[in-house]
Structure 1
């Protein structure tokens, strides 16, 4: 899953980048509101974490512009503004959730997790379940019914989580790369193939089908 982090406090942004990347997210960071506005319009993000007090353009202006343009990108607002009227204003502008500074990193990760699941029509729960699999995001392990948990590498975990949020959907290499790598990464489709083969070895060859000329689809164990 690919996130846009918009925060002008460099120390906080560095800390959040490390936390979110450990949680298995590809993250692009921008400190200027104008840059964030354009990137949010141009790139296929899964979620934005948006500060309000930004140079160049206020966070609420960015959010209103996205929504006016028809964007349904989930947005979590971060702000030091604690008045309830300002929180209401953010939600009315189209925010999906609101987190007041200071906050615990664990709470941020859980809120991101919950927003992403809701955006994919899933209810937040302890384990993400799909296609006969359960994904423990906290420990980056996958469980099949009646079997021991299987540990995943960071890249395998990111890929499987995206498949499990889109079960039964055919996902092209291009789409997978767009949602697994950040703006600066080199998007090598051959790496996607290698990771899919790794997952097949761990989950069974039948778990991920190849649709020639289209992409891949998670069908699950025993399908």
Structure 2
């Protein structure tokens, strides 16, 4: 793999010239992904009056995998699932966040994120880059029990934040309670229990007027 010709964060304060070259590539990548802390999502925080960033989201998902693993429909490797949720949004450093209810932006999401994956994982040594890219591809494909549960958690986490915000992004203009239910269908691919809980929260939110009735 080859890194992009674009400036990297590490270029602003170059690492020592005599540093081991392989380690330099790893550290350059780790510096670059610090940008994840700056990518804002649409979801509100439960604990403060501001929006969540991607790094906070990824941490929350990792903890949720640990706590909620017993609700997976199939046996999962918890450690591997945590790797999937930690890696899956890294591409948003270059591609940006795509709000779940922004259908127009969603049309270009796959193309933008594929290009971002090529660029970002290309910073790493070839073998390390392939390993992380494989995790990202696995999450996107949702063909393994771990990927299905990781996606379920990724869709369930914003639901909790929106519940705490008394609607949050459910109040997006033009979005109805049925739209919310449709976007949360992927939860059912990894966990029937979490899907049932999600539908209960949406139903109650609709009753309380936090989401528009279709």
TM over 0.5, shorter chain: no
Compare the two structures and name the one with the higher strand fraction: 1
Higher relative contact order (CA 8 A, sep 6+): 2
TM-score (norm: length of structure 1): 0.29
Which has more helix, going by share of residues?
A: 2
